[in-house]
Amino acid sequence: MSAERAFYASRAKNDDADESEGEAPSEMSYQSADIDRETVANDVTSPDQDAFEERLKQCFENMSDKNAGIRVEALSEANVYLRQHYIPDILSDWHLTFADNLERSSRKGNCVEVDLALRLVALLVLQTSTVDSEAVCRLTNTMKAMLTDGGQSMQLRARCATSLGICAFGIIEEPDEIISVVEALHSVWTHTKIGTSGASEAKLFCAALSSWALLVTAFPKRSLEEAILTNVPKVCAFLGSPSVDIRICAGETLALLYELAESMHSVRYEPPNDATTLATLQRLSTESTKHIGKKDKRNQRATFRDIHAAVKNGTFPDFKVKFGNEVLTIDSWTSKTHYDMFCCVLAGGMSTHLKVNAIIRDVFVLGPPVDPGQFRKIPKTERKAINEMASRARRIERGKNRHDKRIAELC
């Protein structure tokens, strides 16, 4: 959840400011969170292309090695490569081998291997749309089984939830398969006990609800209406959770559902429990309970001020994400949901993928990648020469004006 709340970090510092004061759109650059820092990270910054491809292919082959240590190392390196680089052409050539190795690791590996494999599934989907449909089906079936298996670790189930959401959003086309994923995610977060306060349980809940919310943004109108009507009361119930992460995730999802409902009907959405919901959101935006940590209270108040404004007035606090010479404006709860999920998968590589990844740029309607040469920085010597020429021209012009004034005075 720390990555998802990067926007609110600076806002929380000014928590004591008057709530009614207007706030200008802020600008931020994505800061990495929960990212693997393997030693290979420094090796892939600007690699020789041929050597890079050879190393990557060797990495893919090692993912099927009999030695578990070699497999884990290969999976770990592949995670870094796919986060730091956009390589759809290479993956298109290797997607069958890649998918088969991921399926094998996710079914038979140890916890570390399975976790790395699940991360790679989401990265693969965000890199290329040419993954074999049968391979995707097998992977999603494996992940659904793990997600709904209470005997699996909470961490792996949470990882399954995130990867399933990305797969269903980005590559799965069969309606029945998408519905199956939605139902699995829905089952997990709705069956979470409201009194849950453990970190691992909260992480699973947030992963399942966030992935479910991501898929809701792509629902057709009829399905969306039913989802909103059925789930707004369920989401509201989790505003009373003792976990700050659960409360914030539920609040952001609630704001999203209100926004989607308003976009369908062009009027403010007012469910039967609207007055109670607004009162709860208002209370959470001014929370001062002593048993909640100071940092958690700041984060909660900063977040719920915006959620309360969204539910009551249909507003969103625009913020901007700088990447290279471009700027992405996040101006709705829908775009924030997309951005948060992609950040969860790409972490420190988000900026790179915003620049060049066709799938990511299409979601945010950024158009084709921009040619870096279009924003060529003028060398210092050239800038100095231009400034000197401009300064000389100004001196000459001022000299002429002074000369003309003297002549006028003499006349």
pLDDT of residue 246: 95
Summary mean pLDDT of the chain: 83
> Domain range spanning residue 386?
382-410
Asked whether residue 208 is domain-assigned, the answer is no
Please tell me whether residues 227 and 265 are part of one structural domain: yes
Tell me the pLDDT band of 190, cut-offs 50, 70 and 90.
Answer: very high
Domain shared by 349 and 227, yes or no: yes
Asked whether residue 372 falls in the same domain as residue 404, the answer is: no
Mean pLDDT in residue range 46-71: 84
First to last CA, the chain: 79
Domain presence at residue 45: no
Residues 276, 386 within the same domain: no
Residue percentage of the chain with pLDDT more than 70: 82
Q: Which strands form 326-330's sheet, in the order they lie side by side?
A: 26-28, 319-323, 326-330
Amino acid at 5: R
Q: Are 53 and 93 in contact (CB under 8 A)?
A: no
317 and 336 part of one domain: yes
> Is residue 246 domain-resident?
yes
pLDDT value of residue 394: 74
Least confident range of 89-93, 145-149, 228-232, 302-306: 89-93
- Structure confidence by residue, pLDDT tens digits, 66-92: 898 999 999 999 999 999 999 998 888
pLDDT tens profile 117-154:
999 999 999 998 777 778 888 889 999 999 999 999 99
The count of structural domains within the chain is 2
Q: Is residue 113 part of a domain?
A: no
- Has residue 57 been placed in a domain? no
The pLDDT assigned to 396 comes to: 79
Higher pLDDT, 366 or 130: 366
Q: Are residues 236 and 274 in the same domain?
A: yes
**One domain for residues 252 and 289:** yes
Statement to judge: residues 259 and 284 lie in one domain: yes
What pLDDT is recorded for position 222?
92
26 forms beta bridges with 319
Residues 373 and 238 in one domain: yes
Q: Are residues 399 and 336 in the same domain?
A: no
Buried b (16+ CB within 10 A) or exposed e, 46-81: eeeeeebeebbeebbebbeeeeeeebbbbbbbbbbb
Q: What is the DSSP string of 300-341?
A: HHHHHHHHHHHHHH-----EEEEETTEEEEE-SHHHHHHHHH
Q: At what angle do helices 333-346 and 154-170 cross, to 10 degrees?
A: 120
Q: Quick one: 343 and 402 in the same domain?
A: no
What pLDDT score does 164 carry?
96
Q: Are residues 310 and 396 in the same domain?
A: no
Q: Does residue 9 sit within a domain?
A: yes
- Confidence (pTM): 0.80
Question: Which of these, 285, 338, 321, 308, lies nearest to 12 by C-alpha position?
Answer: 285
